[in-house]
Amino acid sequence: MKKILLAATVLGALLLGGKAICEEEKAPPVSTAPADQPHNVWMKMKLKYGQNIYTSIAQADIEAISLDAKRLKALNWFEGIAHGKDEVYQEQLQVFQLATDKLIASAEKKNLDGCTLAFMQMTFSCTACHQRMRDASQAPRPPKAP
């Protein structure tokens, strides 16, 4: 089971990575916001920790998985404070937090399959959050009152 899950994860990453390389020239920019805005800094940190976790899963480095998952959990806590009134963002942060907690718990049990599954759930939560935030930013806004 471990080998199948790991192989599926690696194959998926290779396929997605290969597609990204082929379409690199055509891809639109991810964000038009300045790179020094706090949420962009957080997203870069989350991406770095997520990439570290992915590498650690491939190398079966449970300690490194746990460390970066705990870093993500702390970063998530700060984001929760910064986006206190944004209900859509808070909802997505909670989903991300649950997946991160599962990742930490699996690492503590030294369960690599559990880490892989939790990481995939965490990745899905990232994708869902970014989609919801894009949808919210593209929604028509009511006209300002005169």
**100: CATH:** 1.20.120.10
User: Considering the chain, what is the average pLDDT of its residues?
Assistant: 76
- Is 29 contained in some domain? no
If you compute the radius of gyration of the chain from its CA atoms, what whole number of angstroms results? Answer: 17
Structure confidence by residue, pLDDT tens digits, 18-77: 443 344 344 444 444 444 555 678 788 889 999 999 999 999 999 999 999 999 999 888
Q: Sorting pLDDT into bands at 50, 70 and 90, what band is 7? A: very low
Higher-scoring residue by pLDDT: 15, 67: 67
Owner of token pair 């300690």: 63
- CA 128 – CA 105 distance, rounded (Å): 23
Both tokens of 109, joined, read: 């049990």
Q: Is residue 124 part of a domain?
A: yes
DSSP one-letter string for the chain: -HHHHHHHHHHHHHHHHHHHHHTTTTPPPS--S-TTSHHHHHHHHHHHHHHHHHHHHHTT-HHHHHHHHHHHHHHHHHHHHHTTT-HHHHHHHHHHHHHHHHHHHHHHTT-HHHHHHHHHHHHHHHHHHHHHHHHHHHSPPPPPP-
Expressed as residue numbers, the domain containing 101 is 37-137
**Count of domains forming the chain:** 1
pLDDT at 143: 66
Q: For 110-132, what is the mean pLDDT?
A: 92
The reported pTM is 0.66
Q: At residue 84, does pLDDT exceed 50?
A: yes
Asked if residue 7 belongs to a domain, the reply is no
> Does residue 1 lie in a domain region?
no
Q: What average pLDDT does the segment 93-110 reach?
A: 94
